[in-house]
Structure 1
Amino acid sequence: MRGVMRFGKKGKLSPRFVGPFEILDRIGLMAYRVALPPAILGVHDVFHVSMMRKYILDPTHVIDYEPLQLQENLTHTEESMQIVERKEQVQVLQNRAIPLAKVVWNNHSISEASWELEEEMQVKYP
């Protein structure tokens, strides 16, 4: 057990409770599927009721959101707002550089920006 990392803690004893996490759906009578962060993807996402505990309301734990502009057929179109960063990715098999751009989309924060091909972004948004 020496050197084993469990839930970001090193050592023999792992933390008893980790979370809070959002419950995605109920599986059967006594199990729930939970949305886990990417840092602990190795953990199975279905838990028995006995493994969970009640969430204690914290008034500082409030998520701010902006309402989406939905169309008549209940679809939503994403539009790029700005390019935050640029870089060139080198392919492994060839000595060719691929230009990428980090794009911030409307109704999303900077932390949710995604890397897109710069050529495609120039075609879509000249």
Structure 2
Amino acid sequence: MTNEKIDLIRVQLKAAQDQQKACADKRRRPIEFQVGDYVLLKVSPWKGIIRFHKRGKLGPRYIGLFKILARVRRVAYQLELPSTLDGIHNTFHVSQLRKCLVDETALVPLDDIELDEGLNYFERPIAIKDVKVKNLRNNVVRQVLVQWQHQKGSELTWEA
């Protein structure tokens, strides 16, 4: 009796795992690069302090045009990085890379972007364009319209 229940539970667990794997495999696509391919490297937007809300849709998400020197493991690749990125380890997970079909519009020059060790870049404020006071029930919030300088031009956002 007990062995039958255990067998039934095992069968149901196996069916649930197979269902989850099938759903995950539909969305997953294997990404592989060859030695000598050119790839773009993923960077994160960072404005003084880390911001997680959407802004700067046209900001650079990937930089450079880096050549793959070697395949370290199944999902890790070693890149040829310039001397400006000496503080960054040159081995990256495949999720941080994007295949580059050599296109001049996709190339983001590294000279214009300041990167730190965590591959974050900084956006600097240029000017304060406007000031407004917002009344929220019992609170009064002062906001300023800031013009930010980044790679694709300037952008205006309201900041507290």
Query: TM-score range, shorter-chain basis?
Result: 0.3 to 0.5
Q: Give the TM-score taking structure 1 as reference length.
A: 0.35
Q: Give the TM-score taking structure 2 as reference length.
A: 0.28
Higher share in strand: 2
- The structure whose RCO (Cα within 8 Å, separation 6+) is larger is 2
Larger Rg: 2
Higher share in helix: 2
